[in-house]
């Protein structure tokens, strides 16, 4: 892995020059070195040659679609850990769901404000940097001291008060809370939570979320509904 002092790099895959330049400008202001390509095929070559710390991916490209680029990156060991943030047109929830299920980390809808864009991009890079060490630590979650989940002992405390969750609720909350800020689609939640005695449908997910929110009390609002896509544990509500 590269040392902490190494310059971070980003690859921007976008065929609209004004948007590509805008993203580049704001990344460069943060000291990030930026390459731009308008071609999905070229993006795959560049990403393999020199693994970037971030890939900003437009979905509508002239050759390969952004979804296809994402799929190919995520199926190769060398490139699958690159954080991918998709740039999407408003109203393309189906593409967002597909992208996230393919392993994209986040998305920003056009038109976007530079402030929102940079916050999302910085988060994606930061989360990925800590994800490697988190990966095996599936036992305990602590979020700013407010939510503590001990998976081994099936104990949840919220602001130091013990909360009773069913096993399904526990697993759903655990999945969302272990990576604050990441959107999870309903299908991802279903496949991660399924167990021998659990049958979940898209509808029952919503019912479980309502129950979890109620049990969490004040912290319940931390489980955000992302319309048309799924759910996300807020990474801002715990500061
Ligand atoms: Ca485009």
**CA 159 to ligand 1 centroid distance, Å:** 45
**CA 138 to ligand 1 centroid distance, Å:** 38
Contact between 168 and 208 under an 8 Å Cβ cutoff? The reply is: yes
Domains and CATH numbers, the chain: 9-132 (3.40.50.2300), 140-233 (1.10.10.10)
Category of 84 on φ-ψ map: left (φ > 0), alpha (ψ -120 to 50) or beta: beta
- Quick one: pLDDT at residue 204? 85
d(CA 5, CA 134) in angstroms, rounded, equals: 22
Helix or strand or coil: residue 147? strand
**CA 55 to ligand 1 centroid distance, Å:** 15
List per-residue pLDDT tens for the chain, 239 residues long. 444 557 899 999 999 999 999 999 999 999 999 999 999 999 999 999 999 999 999 999 999 999 999 999 999 989 988 999 999 887 788 888 899 888 898 899 999 999 989 988 988 888 766 554 444 445 667 776 688 888 878 889 888 889 999 888 998 999 898 888 889 999 889 888 876 556 678 888 898 999 999 999 988 999 999 998 999 998 764 43
**CA 99 to ligand 1 centroid distance, Å:** 15
**CA 20 to ligand 1 centroid distance, Å:** 10
By CB neighbour count within 10 A (0-12 exposed, 13-18 middle, 19+ buried), where does 22 fall?
Answer: middle
């Amino acid at each position: 892995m590269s040392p902490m002092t190494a310059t971070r790099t980003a690859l921007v895959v976008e065929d609209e020059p004004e948007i590509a330049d805008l993203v580049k400008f704001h990344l460069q202001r943060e000291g990030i070195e930026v390459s731009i390509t308008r071609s999905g095929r070229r993006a795959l070559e560049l990403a393999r040659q020199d693994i970037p710390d971030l890939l900003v991916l437009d979905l509508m490209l002239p050759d390969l679609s952004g979804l296809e680029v994402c799929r190919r990156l995520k199926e190769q060991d060398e490139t699958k850990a690159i954080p991918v943030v998709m740039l999407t047109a408003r109203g393309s929830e189906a593409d967002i769901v597909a992208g996230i299920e393919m392993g994209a980390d986040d998305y920003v809808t056009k038109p976007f404000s530079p402030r929102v864009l940079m916050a999302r991009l910085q988060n994606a890079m930061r989360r990925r940097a800590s994800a490697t060490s988190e990966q095996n630590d599936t036992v305990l979650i602590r979020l700013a001291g407010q939510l503590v989940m001990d998976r081994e002992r099936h104990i949840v405390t919220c602001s130091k008060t013990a909360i009773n969750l069913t096993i399904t609720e526990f697993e759903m909350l655990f999945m969302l809370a272990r990576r604050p800020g990441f959107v999870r689609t309903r299908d991802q939640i279903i496949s991660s939570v399924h167990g021998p005695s659990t049958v979940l449908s898209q509808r029952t997910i919503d019912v479980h979320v309502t129950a979890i929110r109620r049990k969490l009390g004040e912290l319940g609002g931390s489980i955000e509904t992302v319309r048309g896509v799924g759910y996300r544990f807020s990474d801002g509500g715990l500061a």
